[in-house]
Amino acid sequence: MPLTSIFPELIKAKNDGYAIPAFDTLDMNATEGMFLAFSEKNAPGVIALYGGFLERPNAHAVSAYIRERAKDFEVPISLMLDHGASFEQCIKAISYGFTDVMYDGSRLPLEENIKNTKDVVRAAHAVGVYVEAELGHVGRGSEYQSFGALRKGFTDPDTVEMFIKETNVDFLAIAIGTAHGIYQGDPQLDLELLKEIRSRVDVPLVLHGGSGCTEEQFRSAIKAGISKINIATDLFMTAGKKLVEVAKGENPSYFSMSNSAMEAFRERCIYYIDLFGATGKA
Ligand SMILES: [Zn+2]
């Protein structure tokens, strides 16, 4: 079926207590692995492109590939901009056929984050595209001990209601102790904070920086109200390790490595789809 916004699926996930995985792609093999995994598990899902990738010369063609390939599968798949850096980048993604965009103004002063998110929401809604914003700031795992472990950047539950009301944003990424990339130490999630935020607003809540969390942490976060989980680092690391293995094997060739990369993405995506409870939910 054609690409579709993930928003209706997020509402179902929120009501039924599971989470939709959002996987970051960057090429054809990663993308193929993701499509195959979603299709095999009959699960709805998000294939995301990071903001920086949208500035590459082949971004339009990569988007077109994902858009065409989605038609070969019977599960609802969204093409989403991950961490859109500006209003302009979000509009570019929409013009490339993205069905959902994330605008990330989480490093800006609150007023600016509100203003920019509001602008993106207004433009996106005019053409039927849904928007995710970030409130609080999910930082880098490599700096985890100096912020996440100290609760720096955590989402303030007192500002959440106001932020949603002011911006009219559709779903929200929150900072409760996760981080992007590889963690320095182990992640600690503040599930009480998550529950508090969940109790104050209706919009689906999103967890970024999922790579490195334990299965128990994922299950608890979903139970406490997370409806979408973004995974990038772990997929890239898993596929990377697989390629090193193949490279060290007999007669390594790009042909075998290319297939192995796709297979590594497929397998690891299936793991997360099952873990998040999205299997059979399409
Ligand atoms: Zn993220």
Q: 235-262, pLDDT tens digit by residue?
A: 999 999 999 999 999 989 999 899 999 9
pLDDT value of residue 282: 96
pLDDT value of residue 113: 98
Ligand 1 center–CA 248 separation, angstroms:
32
> How far is 101 from 103, CA to CA, in rounded Å?
6
Q: How is residue 263 written in tokens? A: 């297979």
Q: What CATH number does the domain located at 7-275 have?
A: 3.20.20.70
* Catalytic position from the list 16, 24, 82, 186: 82
- For the chain, give every domain's residue range: 7-275
pLDDT value of residue 268: 98
pLDDT value of residue 150: 74
pLDDT in tens, 118-172: 999 999 999 999 999 999 999 888 888 877 777 888 999 999 999 999 999 999 9
Q: Which of 9-18, 31-40, 173-182, 213-222 shows the lowest mean pLDDT across its residues? A: 173-182
Ligand 1 center–CA 173 separation, angstroms:
8
Given pLDDT bands bounded at 50, 70 and 90, which one contains residue 87?
A: very high
pLDDT value of residue 152: 82
Ligand 1 center–CA 68 separation, angstroms:
25
Given pLDDT bands bounded at 50, 70 and 90, which one contains residue 21?
A: very high
pLDDT value of residue 186: 86
Q: How is residue 85 written in tokens? A: 């850096």
Q: Whole-prediction pTM value?
A: 0.96
> How far is 221 from 173, CA to CA, in rounded Å?
13
189-224: burial string, b at 16+ Cβ within 10 Å, e else: bbbebbebbbeebebbbbbbbbbbbeeebbeebbeb
pLDDT value of residue 5: 98
- Name the 3-class secondary structure at 16: helix
pLDDT value of residue 179: 87
> How far is 135 from 105, CA to CA, in rounded Å?
8
Is 82 catalytic? The answer is: yes
pLDDT in tens, 23-38: 999 999 999 999 999 9
Ligand 1 center–CA 172 separation, angstroms:
12
Ligand 1 center–CA 83 separation, angstroms:
6
Who's near 41: CB < 8 A, 6+ residues apart?
270, 273, 274, 278, 279, 280
Pairing of strands 130-135, 171-174: parallel
pLDDT value of residue 139: 86
> How far is 37 from 264, CA to CA, in rounded Å?
11
